[in-house]
Amino acid sequence: MATVDYRSLAGDILQGVGGESNIASATHCATRLRLKLRDDSKADQAAIEKLPGVITVMKAGGQFQVVIGNNVPSVYAELGKITKLTDDDAEAGDEPVSHGNLFNRFIDLIASIFSPVIWPLAAAGLLKAFLSMATQFGWLDPASQTNVILAATADAIFYFLPVFLAVTAAKRFKTNQFTSMAIAGALVYPSIVALAAQAEPVNFAGIPMVMMNYTSSVLPIIVAVWLQGYAERFLTRVLPSAIRNFTTPLLTLLVMVPLVLLTVGPVTTFAAQGLSAGINAAFTFAPWLAGAVMGGFWQVFVLFGLHWGLVPGMLNEISTQGYSLLMGPLLAAVLSQAAATLAVLFRTRNKARRAVAGPAALSGFLAGITEPAIYGVNLPLKKPFYFGIAGGVIGGAIAAAGGSGATAFVFPSLLGLPAFSQVGNFGLQLLGTGAAVVVAFTLTFFFGPREEAVAAAPDAGTPVPEAVSGAPASASSGPTTAAATAAGTVDIVAPVAGRAVALADVQDKVFASGAMGRGLGIIPADGHIYSPITGTIKAAMKTGHAFGIKSEDGVEVLVHIGIDTVQLQGRGFEAAVTRGQQVRAGDLLAVVDLALVAEAGHDTTTLVMVTNTAQLGSVDPVDGGTLAQGDTAITVRL
């Protein structure tokens, strides 16, 4: 299989089933490419079965299933490059489905969209920190052309952040990335920015428009690209093919840019104005309460773009009275998130996470640039973000209680500390900021997720591989039994307690035929599925129903929970591991609701198969009987 040209194979399969127009949908599970065909008679099953890399073809569940084996993700990826059929969100197989609440799923979405740009953000944040130091200590003239050029280099990615996010969001939502970039470019176009800054009313075709500044914003472009996906799919269906290629982006741009400006701007602006009025009112009767809100939730306001309603108030305070009380709690807000990131740096064993956390914490402390810390570390891990909020609440309340404020509009940071030293009780400002840092760091260090070291997947696309938060990858969540290797023998243990059944008796003809390798089925007694071998997770289906594990000895094991359970789209399954993670025999792989699977009409038999049987000396499953989790189920001789 190693010599198979996956691009050619994907093209041959596409041709064999009658072309893209004959495919209604395409997904994949752990071993097969699953196609829903519009007309089965157009598919040449015999020709496809003869293709190098194809094990067999079967029709089941209304699907044309091309069995490829462990390399099916590669074929599926190539199919996505030559068609518009694939859907990474449906069955990409890289990470488990998020089963958390709506807010957690939202955080996961934001973090995934930011992942590809974390390194440039971290680099730009460090550059801003060094430039701030250079100008503050007199090493570089702030008015020099050198500083102008370097400042532009550092600021550009933050200013044009919507354009960068347009690319990653387009990949996430399956839209044309260049159309997405054009939408983002319109939002940060100089004349649009100027309209947001002017006092005169703005209208579009006679419709009053409330403008906001979209530079450095996050949510507006993500929402726009999400809606763009619906618009493009609709237009692709209804437009004649002769004009579709240029008419689809034309109509999408004409609709989406005014729509975003007419909707996102007013909603965000009115919400920000209401928030600003409430916080300003709180400063008059309960400064500590206003400080707690500003200190704790400033980063949340930034995330939703609500901070733009507070910035004008800050600037107005500075221009009229020489200082801004609204800015007083921001030092605690920013440094608490930086402190949480610093704690992750010391706590995590994930080298990739540490590589981001170090510069992110430094840019947060020195320059007040928190995007790398928030989007590359704290938000993906969730708890550090929450602990940063907790520290900000405490520190902001203390600072505001002392009447602290800022005499200049600076990034809240250690280098910007002099701007906070001349208003109110500076001692309480330092005490509050220190408390915020200590609380956020301590909570994260002792109670945050301790990610284990993970091996990067061969084709990982993001710089920060995810590990399971809060659960050590190397610690078993259930009974542990190490798979033994002695004198060229490897024992593969039962991943779940239950009754063993011969592979030939499994109700799936591909597995039963042995085409995927030798193994056995286990009718599970409970829904906790553990790793049958020590090794690296090479495949973790997003639906949580199948996992591929490769041992250091080169034994490749497939654990497939239930028959045709991919059709449940993750319902009833909760994965506990991700691709690239190292596991020991007995570590928890997934939890499955067996009752739900059975009620949906699916066989719950869990398959344990050695998929590279042909490359090994022998593979001998046990001969039936009842197994306890951890009992030897298959003996492999290398």
Contact 166, 180 (CB under 8 A): yes
Torsion angles phi and psi, residue 502, rounded to 5: -65, 150
Instruction: Give the pLDDT band of residue 234 (cuts 50, 70, 90).
Output: confident
- Mean pLDDT check: name the lowest of 248-252, 362-366, 475-479: 475-479
- List all residues 6 or more positions away from 229 whose beta carbon is below 8 Å from its beta carbon: 173, 174, 175
pLDDT digits (tens, 9 = 90+) for 23-56: 888 888 777 888 888 888 889 998 998 888 888 8
**Amino acid letter, residue 514:** G
Residue that has been written with the tokens 């993750």 in this structure: 570
Q: Quick one: pLDDT band at residue 571, thresholds 50, 70, 90?
A: confident
| 204 has pLDDT over 70 | yes
Half-sphere exposure of 503 (CA within 13 A, CB side): 22
The residue type of 533 is I
89 CB-contact burial (10 Å; exposed 0-12 / middle 13-18 / buried 19+)? exposed
Which amino acid would we find at residue 259? L
Residue 358: Cβ-neighbour burial (10 angstroms; 0-12, 13-18, 19+): middle
Cα–Cα distance between 537 and 73 in angstroms, integer?
A: 14
**Confidence (pLDDT) at 478:** 40
Confidence at 460, pLDDT banded by 50, 70, 90: very low
- Are 9 and 53 in contact by the 8 Å Cβ rule? The answer is yes
Give the CA distances from residue 165 to residues 113, 168, 260, 375, 618, in Å, rounded to whole numbers and listed in that order. Answer: 7, 5, 16, 12, 51
**HEC readout, 349-393:** CCHHHHHHHHHHHHHHHHHCCCHHHHHHHHHHHCHHHHHHHHHHH
Query: How far is Cα 135 from Cα 149, in angstroms, rounded to an integer?
Result: 14
In terms of Cα–Cα distance, which of 414, 407, 310 is closest to 363?
Answer: 414
pLDDT recorded at residue 135: 85
Q: Is-contact 6 53, C-beta < 8 A?
A: yes
d(CA 273, CA 275): 5
- Find where tokens 């618009």 sit: 231
Task: Give the integer Cα–Cα distance in Å for 404 and 392.
Answer: 15
Angstrom distance (rounded) from CA 65 to CA 69: 12
Long-range contacts of 232-239 (CB under 8 A, 24+ apart): 232/175, 232/176, 232/179
In a 10 Å sphere around its CB, with 0-12 CB exposed, 13-18 middle and 19+ buried, how is residue 515 labelled? middle
For residues 263-283, average pLDDT: 78
Backbone angles phi and psi of 328, in degrees to 5: -55, -45
Quick one: which of 61, 89, 91 has its CA closest to 75? 91
Q: Is 577 exposed, middle or buried (0-12, 13-18, 19+ CB in 10 A)?
A: buried
Q: What is the pLDDT of residue 113?
A: 82
The residues assigned a catalytic role are 29, 560
Q: Give the containing element (helix H, strand E) for 513.
A: helix 509-513
Q: What average pLDDT is seen over the chain?
A: 82
Ramachandran sector of residue 138 (left: φ over 0; alpha: ψ -120 to 50; beta: rest): left
Position 479 pLDDT exceeds 50:
no
Instruction: Using the CB atoms, write b or e for 525-535: b if 16+ within 10 Å.
Output: eebbbbbbbbb
User: What token pair was written down for 186?
Assistant: 């319109």
- Give the pLDDT score at 497: 92
| Strands laid side by side in the 588-592 sheet | 528-530, 588-592, 573-575
Each residue of 375-433: pLDDT tens digit? 888 888 889 999 999 999 999 999 999 999 888 877 888 888 888 888 899 999 999 99
Q: Report the distance separating Cα 268 and Cα 210, nearest Å.
A: 10
| Contact present, 39 and 22 (Cβ < 8 Å) | yes
- Which range of 47-61, 111-125, 266-280, 295-309 scores highest in mean pLDDT? It is 47-61
Statement: residue 141 has pLDDT above 70: yes
The answer to whether 35 and 21 have CB atoms below 8 angstroms apart is no
- SS3 state of residue 258: helix
pLDDT, tens digit, 9 for 90 and up, residues 62-79: 788 888 877 787 888 888
Judged against a pLDDT cut of 60, whether residue 587 lies above it is answered with yes
Beta-carbon contacts of 225 under 8 Å, excluding residues fewer than 6 positions away, are 166, 169, 170, 172, 173, 175, 180, 183
Q: Are 334 and 368 in contact (CB under 8 A)?
A: yes
| Rg of the Cα atoms in the chain | 28
> Looking at the predicted structure, is the pLDDT value of residue 462 above 50?
no
pLDDT in tens, 340-371: 999 999 988 777 788 888 888 988 898 888 88
- Render pLDDT for 159-173 as a digit per residue (tens, 0 to 9): 898 999 999 888 888
Instruction: Please report the pLDDT score of residue 401 as a whole number.
Output: 92
> What's the pLDDT band for 152 if we cut at 50, 70, 90?
very high
pLDDT bin (cut points 50, 70, 90) of residue 634 is very high
pLDDT of residue 386: 93
498-502 and 56-60: which strand pairing? Answer: unpaired
pLDDT of residue 254: 94
